[in-house]
Chains A and B, each alone.
Chain A
Amino acid sequence: MPTDTAAASEAPTRLDVRKTYKLAIGGKFPRSESGRSYPVFATGAEAGALPLAHAAHASRKDVRDAVVAARSAQSGWAGATAYNRGQVLYRVAEMLEGRAEQLSAEVADAEGIDRRDAGAVVRATVDRWVWYAGWTDKIAQVAGNANPVAGPYFNLSVPEPTGVIAVLAPQRSSLLGFTSVVAPVIAAGNACVVVTSWRRPLPAATLAEVLATSDVPGGVVNTLTGSAAELGPWLAAHADVDGIDLTGAAELDSPTWGELEAAAAETLKRVRRPAELPAGAEEDWQAIPHLDRILTFCEIKTVWHPKGR
């Protein structure tokens, strides 16, 4: 700095290299094909403060590209062994731990909380990935079973992933909430297209980089920074999307989550409605998750075969 001549002479300050926050589609990190971006401010920032960054502003075309990427990745991910999926999810936790410092700073800015609380959020997020890493090879045992039919038949019911799931991530909990809606969907073997919080997209964009370096196959999680109100209708109506989680649409005015559900009815998507909560409240993301988060996007398949000699 010109005013600090002493420091300048001893150790010249360097200009920090800022990060460009981008979308994550099919294992790549493109900008929005629309060329749009939007300024993201820290929660509680004073008027006139500089933005934290300009996030990519995903478009309808990005949604379509992301659905294509998710569809092509899904069968491979579902076809991986449950043990392998568990290892990959555990790897996410390992990678996250190493990025804890960066993510704490981003969560603190995004959510307007201090660094200590943000650190606790990041630690809970790491633990949430560990939780779901442990579920991948237990879902079938907990949600499936043999059926004692009244006849000489082998009969087994097992849960299978529904397919390609659209997820509207919570608007407030930028990292733990995001993880809590995404991890259960992919633990079962689904692929997903996630729309981040509109005002707090940066921690999720960084998490997408963690996923890419954790052996999560490209296309399994496609992260779109942008507006649930703008992208939700395209996802709800998309014929190649099998289910939609409307958590992040809880407080939308137009379209409402009910309108998104009605659009999803045209293709009989599995729909997870936002939780029934008082206005302004969000789910308690610190609580132990309910198994529903996994099973809403699973199908029970029952196979029969005769027994005989």
Chain B
Amino acid sequence: MSAPSVGRDGTDPAGMSLEPSSPAPSPLAPSAADVFGYSPAPESASLARIAASYDLYIGGQFRAAADGRTLTTINPATEQTLAVVAHGGAADVDAAVAAARRALSGPWGSMSATERGKFLFRISRLIAERARELAVVETLDNGKPIRETRDIDIPLVAAHFFYHAGWADKLPWAGLGPDPRPVGVVGQIIPWNFPMLMLAWKVAPALACGNTVVLKPAETTPLTALLFAEICADAGLPDGVVNIVTGDGETGGALVDHPGMDKIAFTGSTAVGRSIARAVAGTRRRVTLELGGKAANIVFDDAPMDETIEGIVDGIFFNQGHVCCAGSRLLVQESVADEVVERLQRRMSTLRVGDPMDKNTDVGAINSAEQLARIEALVTVGEGEGAHRWSVPCQLPDQGFWFAPTIFTDVQPAHRVAREEIFGPVLSVLTFRTPDEAVAQANSTPYGLSAGIWTDKGSKILWLADRLKAGVVWANTFNRFDPTSPFGGYKESGYGREGGRQGLAAYVA
């Protein structure tokens, strides 16, 4: 891992020193960044024992794709190949659905709920045991900082299995009817932004409720799902309960169209979600969708400003902004807009962008060249439409896919950067005067996944929370996740919830 971590360069673009009282650095004296800079603190990549190639996991067997096709997965921070992975096709999906059906009518379906739950507890423990390895593989495959995979993604994965394990034999108390039954064979398609966490959000409740699954990980991030297949085998989970079919959009399409499927659960873009909703229309297959977002993060003049700045940064730069619920539209009350933008720029200048394996890194690599191109295209549109762009003046590594944390000011609600999901480290700043105006602006989007509120006034928080059309409202915090807490959207951000008691409803008939 050679990509350097690069912190702030000591000045902001206005030429103002970050520590106004300190004298201008002399060319001979070490700069503040040198004195107080971070030494590289890389996590050891050797913790990840990545094989040269991986097969599909179907019916408890690892096997190549029926037609022998493969995909290559790379490290987006270095563009180096990590592994070659089987590219599943329609025949493989068919085999996986058949294996899932056999498991459902066989050992899994006849197992007592208590024993089923114990398998999930065991899986949760195995994940915790291999947590560091999983975190490293996730960071290598995805490009997100090791600090996040180590402290957020993988601990939440283990927690998700542990939480749902306990539900397995308590479903009659979940308030979902007196005799909750499994839906059946569930097809699950997950995105690349939180590869293993999204797997947990899908697989844990499905198994807890007695279903069997065919999971398709994202094309660019298949590795942790394949390690999860090993964990399932290790746990002694009956063959066919979990099947992993790696591949691309075509593989996902084969899953969606498979008539042997009882339900489809999808997390990803609104465009694909719409096509899935169309594909299952008129069938008895059920569907839940967790789609895009363009969350408003609303800052009032009475907000606790230090926490607010941290929350804004966490809201949009967490995971490089590859977050469907990212706080990508900052709505600031006009009277504090200048102060907020200035402090935000100062804080952004201290973000460390670079090697995801460095434990000090805040912002890692963009997941793919394709996603980077999408971000760059929308940012170019934003500039063309007249919004003012400011990017952190940091040095980016030569190899890999990178995008400096960026904010747009002078944004009008009609601008594309204010309306479309960028799915990158790009924040659009808009202003409002009154709470009513904030609500109107926040809700003026076809999306409705999440929203943020920053104010010290409790009654204002509750007033707003009632009016925001969003499935998750974070007040004086942002981007918090927990297995007990339902997650999912209003409007075109999809339907159904994941997590919590309400999330079980997606997996019982």
Contacts and interface: CB of A to CB of B under 8 A. Distances in A.
Interface string B256-297: 000000000000001001100110011110000101000000
B471 interface: yes
Interface in B449-490: 461, 465, 470-477, 480, 482, 484-488, 490
Interface string B276-320: 011001111000010100000000000000000000000000000
B116 to A, nearest CB: 23
B118 interface: no
Interface string A268-309: 101101001000000000000011000100011111111000
Contacts of B289: 268
A268 B480 contact: no
A153 B484 contact: no
B131 to A, nearest CB: 16
A261 interface: yes
A301 B501 contact: no
Interface in A202-255: 242
Interface stretch (B26-34, B230-238, B491-499): B491-499
Interface stretch (A8-16, A37-45, A144-152, A169-177): A144-152
B155 to A, nearest CB: 9
A87 interface: no
Contacts of A270: 495
A152 to B, nearest CB: 10
- How many chain A residues sit at the interface, stated as a range, is 35 or more
A273 B285 CA distance: 11
A267 interface: yes
Contacts, number: 108
Contacts of A148: 484
Contacts of A262: 278, 281-282
A132 interface: no
B282 A302 contact: no
Contacts of A242: 491
B284 A147 contact: no
Given A157-B502, A256-B282, A270-B495, A302 B486 contact: yes
A120 interface: no
A268 B485 contact: no
B100 interface: no
Contacts of A299: 471, 490
B482 A300 contact: no
Contacts of A149: 480, 482, 484-485
A155 interface: yes
Given A268-B491, A300-B471, A143 B502 contact: yes
Contacts of B494: 268
A295 B176 CA distance: 11
Nearest to A305: B475
- Identify the interface centre among A151, A258, A304, A305: most chain B CB within 10 Å of its CB: A304
Interface in A52-100: none
Nearest to A257: B282
A147 B495 CA distance: 20
Contacts of B472: 301-304
Contacts of A147: 482, 484-486, 500
Contacts of B273: 268
Nearest to A79: B466
B175 interface: yes
Interface in B353-377: none
Given A149-B484, A149-B485, A268-B291, A304 B473 contact: yes
Interface of A: 142-143, 145, 147-151, 153, 155, 157, 162, 242, 256-259, 261-262, 264-268, 270-271, 273, 276, 290-291, 295, 299-306
20 contacts: A143-B175, A149-B480, A151-B482, A155-B484, A157-B500, A258-B281, A259-B282, A261-B282, A262-B278, A268-B273, A268-B492, A270-B495, A271-B281, A299-B471, A299-B490, A302-B472, A303-B472, A304-B477, A304-B480, A306-B476
Given A258-B282, A261-B277, 11 more contacts: A145-B500, A149-B480, A155-B482, A162-B490, A264-B277, A265-B277, A290-B177, A304-B472, A304-B485, A305-B476, A306-B476
A-B interface, 3 closest residue pairs, ranked by CB to CB distance from nearest: A258-B282, A265-B277, A261-B281
